[in-house]
Amino acid sequence: MPKILVTGGKGQLAKCIEKQGNAYELDFSFKSSSELDITKFEELKEAFIGHNYDYCINCAAYTQVDKAESQKEAANLINHLAVENLAKLCEAYKVTLIHISTDFVFSGEHSLPYLEDDKTNPLGVYGKTKLDGESRIQQNIKQFFIIRTSWLYSEFGNNFLKSMLNYGRKKQQLSVVYDQVGTPTYAMDLADLILKIIHSGSKNYGIYHFSNEGVASWYDFAFCIFKLAGINCDLIPIRSSEYLTAAKRPSFSVLDKSKVKNTFQLKIAHWQQSLSRAIKNID
């Protein structure tokens, strides 16, 4: 039975892995940031000694995109420097690292879905620190899976779905940007992929893109949330220039999933199908 360390054990993806993991014969050790601070090397090293882990799933990350612009050191510490230490320890203890990255490593200037080897050019601190973390993994360990994903949501934690459900039930009118395009991704579906990689014992290491199928703007995403949840709120489409944020976001960050589908014989659900499942799980 494979032994698996999961960092960021209280986050939404870890919660989804825990829930979906019941279908597999796996020995999990979920560690929250208070139980295991990945920014502290000695503490991290202690977590590996004597446990003989087969996999480490790194769900720990600094994900506050706008705050990262003013908290560069904190974002860099968690998304870059700590990831480098994690990669070194996984290599030293022969542990396969599964690391979650982001569509924000791209600038959004494409008009076609991004492939894994397309040029990266992050627009802000968050994307840059995540890309730096990717680079350190590739430099320090051979057995790794980096999974870039986008617009992650679930019934757990804080995310766009839960925010829209909350605001939509309180407000009569809401404005949402329509000129940023990507793909909403249900964290349960990402958890399924991670578990499938582990269960398969695959050695096809490298970078993979994963999201649900289809394309949407944030306005489309919100519209579908309200429709499926039966929320009567007047939704107003606006440009990004009308909703200023500290960090600039890619205007187009759709990911090409051909590689992950072909490698793992994967059939991926459309984002609207998965959103319907998520809303039912909340209710």
| CA–CA separation, 122 and 250 (whole Å) | 8
Chain position carrying tokens 């791209």: 106
Give the distance from CA 67 to its chain's centroid.
18
The catalytic residue among 114, 126, 153, 186 is 126
DSSP secondary structure string for all residues of 31-91 = E-TTT--TT-HHHHHHHHTTT--SEEEE------TTGGGT-HHHHHIIIIIHHHHHHHHHH
Q: What dihedral angle (degrees, nearest 10) is formed by the CA atoms of 123, 124, 125, 128?
A: -10
* Helix (H) or strand (E) segment spanning residue 146: strand 144-149
Q: What dihedral angle (degrees, nearest 10) is formed by the CA atoms of 79, 81, 83, 85?
A: -160
| CA–CA separation, 265 and 59 (whole Å) | 24
Closest C-alpha to 78, from 99, 61, 93, 91: 61
Q: Residue 211's CB: how many other CB atoms inside 10 A?
A: 29
The tokens of 223 are what?
Answer: 């519209």
Chain position carrying tokens 């964290």: 187
| CA–CA separation, 181 and 103 (whole Å) | 11
Active-site residue, 243 included: no
| CA–CA separation, 97 and 5 (whole Å) | 10
Residues labelled as active-site residues: 126
